[in-house]
Amino acid sequence: MDWQSVFSLSMPPLELVVRGSAVYWFLFLVFRFLLKRDVGAVGIADILLLVLVADAAQNAMAGEYRTVTDGFILVSTIIGWNAALDFVAFKFPRVRRWIEPKPLCLIRDGRALRGNMRRELISEDDLRSKLREHGISALSEVAAAYMESDGEISVLKHKQDGDAAPRRSNGKGR
């Protein structure tokens, strides 16, 4: 085996970084602004979309790379952008508002906000299913429900005598 051909560079490292960065930012903008949040679930169509996007983006990012080292640089660039965005979003709330969608109110005082549901393509059946996961059987029990930036639904129940203050509940114990 020719180890030199396995680990040498087949294109300039800067070209790999530029290609990886360009595709990362294109895909980030598509996922952030064109695709909608889902109702906290990953389905077959979501996985298929990710696989197809990854396959389609691979050639755009890498061109004709042929070595392991080229792949390492490319993967490091993509992971680097992701880590940088997470860090910047953590440090600067103003940037976080641009990177992550704001929570969207779906129910207020027991009434479904149909315009907001329509905006995120959430059916009443989907919403009621999520409420049942939180032990809620009627909209009237809900003070407010929000679709969070990660697609989960947080629910604030109406206070009843003896109850603690409302809390965020997303079914994951957070």
- Strands of 153-157's sheet in order across: 111-112, 104-108, 142-147, 153-157
Residues 122-155: tens digit of each pLDDT: 999 999 999 999 999 999 999 999 998 878 899 9
Select the more confidently predicted residue: 73 or 109: 109
* Other Cβ atoms closer than 10 A to 37: 17
Q: Domain segments of the chain: what residues? A: 3-99, 104-157
Q: CA nearest 111: which of 124, 120, 122?
A: 124
Judged by DSSP in three states, 144 sits in strand
Which residue type does 51 have? V
Structure tokens at 148: 């969070």
Domain 104-157 top-level CATH class: alpha beta
What pLDDT is stored for residue 39 in this prediction? Answer: 53
